[in-house]
């Protein structure tokens, strides 16, 4: 059993036992609460309306409310344990290469992206689904952004690597963060509403007057209650309650606007408050994480977010009609909440976006750290800022199970170098191309790569492997492919340095045109600041090595036919393939 699996299993056993214990306690306290509630009315039934009844009932009322508070606390602990056990069960499944229960990011799928569609970054069984453990909407978006826009600067990538390494060594802290994040499942609408708070200026009519009114009017109301308590007169108290409701009526429009803006978000705000506290209270060493922490500790974002959560929670009391009537009749409650929320927003709204961004980045980092921790046999690549280099040993695709994955070495050094890969159908050409592309991408994210060793100069990536036609755009398959090839050539002509991956170029035309066009494209790429990998079934394209021996080189995947069966070893070797299998397969399947 691997170290991550052992830890997950031990914690799962511990939290499962705790969950059973707490669940039993919750059931007991439910009975205690019921008995206390019944007990409140017992003295009244036995003793009648006597002063001794009050003395007997008051302690039971206090006990009843204490039990409610205690039960709520136990229920929160129970929900926390449920989330933790679910997270640990999911990780144990992931270690067994079962990861389809995680969110797949299909909303980020874009067939026109330079490489995302070809490399299976999003959708069912995708790289995003394999990596994703995010607990926030923005964290999910940030992880998708990192996948689609890998870094190219050596320093920035190395800073990310340090952050991922540090978080990889904090499995229990990561579990706490994800637990708090998953206790409340936010929606994109809810998140967008909170994010928009940072971009809006809230107005409040007569704010300076309200500042004093919410203090003076409740104070006068309390004074007016004294004659009523002494039995002198109820008139003053009734008059002040009437005044408070008149004020509430006058501010109804603004109260409703603010409640629509802030209301019913206390659970989400509590979630962000806890996440910020976890970040603030944790000691980090890596510069990247230290900088993120600094952004939420100067001043304390957790404390300020806690103030907002408390204010919103107080504002939500109005949803209970009885409580709302009492509070608004005595303390100008809704108007007070509006003023305090306006003041909080005025003082802090410009910081809000920065705090949410910190949460999102830490959330995304945790996904990469979890991936690094689960794959201790993967390595962080050496990043170079010198001449282009892609040198890797035992390079494999992370989405393939370890016992089925066949690893290969690759070495491409210098610009204007082109590897032509030949091989029979199903021999492993496309998988190898995706393996290289995916690991280049992981390296640019600051994540470990599926290899024994890797050295790389960060570079933009462009692929053409799964071109799709479009009836809506009135585009043929061949024209769609030409558009993608033209797009990468335009970028190269503009001076961009790109790693180009092409799988079976110009599939939509006849074999003569295809070969001629492919040769011209190879010549074109050999003149550009790029490195390229081209997989093809057309063996004549491999003749380009003779024409451009300093730039083009051939690799292949061979197969064997033994006892009328195809044998695939999926190992990359030098030279041009000598075996094809299309006719063999068609005969074997009875097609010809």
Question: What CATH number does the domain containing 569 carry?
Answer: 3.40.50.300
Q: Are strands 417-423 and 453-456 parallel, antiparallel or unpaired?
A: unpaired
Residue 469 has pLDDT above 60, yes or no: no
With beta carbons less than 8 A apart as the criterion, state whether 188 and 197 touch.
no
* Torsion-angle region of 103 (φ positive above 0: left; ψ -120 to 50: alpha; else: beta): beta
Q: What is the pLDDT of residues 3-27, one digit of tens each?
A: 999 999 999 999 999 999 999 999 9
Structural domain includes residue 134: no
Number of domains in the chain: 3
Residues 455 and 483 in one domain: yes
Residues 308 and 367 in one domain: yes
Residues 473 and 341 in one domain: no
With beta carbons less than 8 A apart as the criterion, state whether 405 and 397 touch.
yes
Rounded-to-integer distance, Cα 101 and Cα 442, Å: 22
Q: Is the pTM of this model over 0.85?
A: yes
Dig out the tokens for 14 from the structure. 């511990």
Res. 257 pLDDT band, cuts 50 70 90: confident
Structural domain includes residue 118: no
Residues 353 and 406 in one domain: no
Residues 419 and 450 in one domain: yes
DSSP state for residue 161 in the 8-state scheme: H
Residue 162 has pLDDT above 50, yes or no: yes
Predicted local confidence at residue 582, as pLDDT: 59
Predicted local confidence at residue 586, as pLDDT: 59
Element (H, E) at 490: helix 477-493
**Average pLDDT estimate for 548-557:** 93
Structural domain includes residue 312: yes
Rounded-to-integer distance, Cα 283 and Cα 360, Å: 18
Range of the domain at 7: 1-96
Sign of CA dihedral 441, 445, 449, 453: positive
Predicted local confidence at residue 17, as pLDDT: 96
Q: Of 374, 407, 434, which residue is a domain's last?
A: 374
Q: Can you tell me whether residue 50 is helix, strand or coil?
A: coil
With beta carbons less than 8 A apart as the criterion, state whether 394 and 451 touch.
yes
Residues 421 and 341 in one domain: no
Residues 369 and 396 in one domain: no
Residues 255 and 369 in one domain: yes
With beta carbons less than 8 A apart as the criterion, state whether 358 and 292 touch.
yes
Nearest to 553 by CA among 417, 405, 377: 417
Q: Are strands 460-464 and 498-503 parallel, antiparallel or unpaired?
A: parallel
Residues 396 and 289 in one domain: no
Structural domain includes residue 543: yes
Structural domain includes residue 144: no
Please name the residues in contact with 425: beta carbons below 8 A apart, sequence gap of 6 or more: 537, 580, 581, 582, 585
Res. 474 pLDDT band, cuts 50 70 90: very low
Cα 462–Cα 467–Cα 472 angle in degrees, nearest 5: 125
Residues 346 and 330 in one domain: yes
Residue 230 has pLDDT above 60, yes or no: yes
Q: Can you tell me whether residue 56 is helix, strand or coil?
A: helix
**Average pLDDT estimate for 405-410:** 95
Rounded-to-integer distance, Cα 246 and Cα 399, Å: 66
Residues 352 and 399 in one domain: no
Q: Are strands 460-464 and 389-395 parallel, antiparallel or unpaired?
A: unpaired
Residues 301 and 421 in one domain: no
Q: Can you tell me whether residue 199 is helix, strand or coil?
A: coil
Structural domain includes residue 115: no
Structural domain includes residue 149: no
Residue 471 has pLDDT above 60, yes or no: no
Sign of CA dihedral 135, 139, 143, 144: positive
Q: Of 374, 395, 427, which residue is a domain's last?
A: 374
With beta carbons less than 8 A apart as the criterion, state whether 307 and 344 touch.
yes
Rg (CA), the chain: 33
Nearest to 270 by CA among 337, 346, 186, 334: 186
Structural domain includes residue 150: no
129 vs 65, more confident = 129
Q: Can you tell me whether residue 337 is helix, strand or coil?
A: helix
Residue 430 has pLDDT above 50, yes or no: yes
Rounded-to-integer distance, Cα 305 and Cα 351, Å: 11
Nearest to 400 by CA among 444, 424, 434: 434
* Percent of the chain residues topping a pLDDT of 90: 55
Res. 292 pLDDT band, cuts 50 70 90: very high
Q: Of 48, 63, 96, which residue is a domain's last?
A: 96
Dig out the tokens for 215 from the structure. 């203090």
Element (H, E) at 462: strand 460-464
């Amino acid at each position: 059993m691997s170290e991550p699996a052992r830890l997950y299993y031990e914690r799962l056993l511990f939290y499962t036992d705790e969950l059973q214990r707490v669940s039993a306690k919750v059931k007991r306290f439910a009975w205690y609460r019921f008995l206390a509630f019944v007990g409140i009315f017992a003295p009244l039934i036995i003793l009648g309306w006597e002063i001794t009844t009050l003395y007997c009932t008051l302690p039971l009322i206090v006990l009843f409310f204490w039990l409610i508070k205690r039960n709520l606390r136990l229920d929160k602990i129970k929900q926390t344990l449920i989330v933790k056990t679910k997270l640990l069960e999911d990780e144990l499944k992931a270690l067994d290469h079962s990861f389809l229960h995680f969110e797949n990011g299909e909303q980020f799928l874009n067939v026109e992206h330079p490489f995302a569609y070809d490399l299976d970054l999003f959708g069912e069984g995708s790289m995003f689904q394999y990596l994703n453990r995010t607990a926030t909407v923005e964290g999910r978006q940030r992880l998708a952004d990192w996948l689609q826009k890998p870094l190219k600067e050596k320093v920035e990538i190395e800073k990310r690597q340090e952050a991922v390494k540090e978080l990889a060594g904090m499995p229990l802290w990561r579990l706490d963060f994800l637990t708090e994040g998953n206790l409340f499942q936010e929606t994109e609408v809810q998140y967008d509403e909170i994010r928009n708070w940072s971009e809006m200026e809230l107005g409040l009519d007569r704010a300076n007057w309200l500042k004093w009114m919410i203090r003076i009017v409740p104070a006068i109301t309390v004074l007016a209650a004294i004659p009523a308590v002494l039995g002198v007169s109820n008139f003053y108290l009734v008059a002040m309650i009437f005044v408070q409701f008149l004020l509430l009526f006058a501010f109804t429009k603004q109260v409703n606007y603010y409640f629509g803006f802030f209301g019913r978000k206390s659970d989400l705000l509590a979630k962000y408050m806890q996440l910020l506290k976890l970040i603030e209270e944790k000691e980090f060493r890596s510069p990247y994480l230290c900088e993120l922490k600094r952004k939420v500790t100067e001043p304390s974002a957790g404390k300020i977010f806690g103030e907002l959560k408390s204010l919103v929670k107080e504002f939500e009391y109005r949803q209970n009609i009885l409580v709302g009537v009492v509070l608004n009749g005595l303390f100008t409650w809704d108007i007070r909440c509006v003023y305090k929320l306006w003041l909080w927003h005025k003082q802090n709204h410009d910081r809000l976006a920065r705090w949410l961004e910190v949460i999102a980045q830490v959330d995304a980092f945790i996904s990469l750290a979890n991936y690094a921790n689960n794959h201790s046999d993967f390595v962080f690549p050496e990043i170079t800022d010198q001449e282009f280099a892609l040198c890797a040993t035992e390079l494999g695709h992370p989405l393939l199970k370890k016992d089925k994955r066949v690893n290969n070495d690759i070495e491409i050094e210098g610009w204007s170098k082109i590897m032509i890969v030949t091989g029979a159908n199903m021999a492993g050409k496309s998988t190898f191309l995706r393996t290289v592309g995916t690991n280049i991408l992981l390296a640019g994210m600051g994540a470990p790569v599926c290899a024994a060793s890797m050295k790389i100069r960060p570079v933009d990536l462009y692929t053409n492997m799964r071109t799709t036609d479009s009836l809506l755009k009135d585009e043929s398959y061949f024209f769609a492919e030409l558009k993608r090839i033209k797009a990468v050539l335009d970028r190269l002509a503009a001076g961009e340095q790109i790693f180009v991956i092409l799988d079976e170029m110009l599939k939509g035309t006849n074999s003569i045109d295809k070969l001629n066009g492919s040769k011209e494209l190879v010549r074109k790429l050999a003149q550009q600041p790029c490195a390229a990998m081209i997989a093809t079934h057309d063996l004549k394209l491999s003749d380009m090595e003779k024409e451009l021996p300093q730039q083009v080189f051939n690799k292949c995947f061979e197969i064997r036919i033994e006892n009328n069966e195809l044998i695939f070893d999926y190992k990359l070797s030098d030279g041009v393939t000598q075996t094809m299998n299309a006719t063999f397969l068609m005969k074997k399947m009875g097609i010809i």
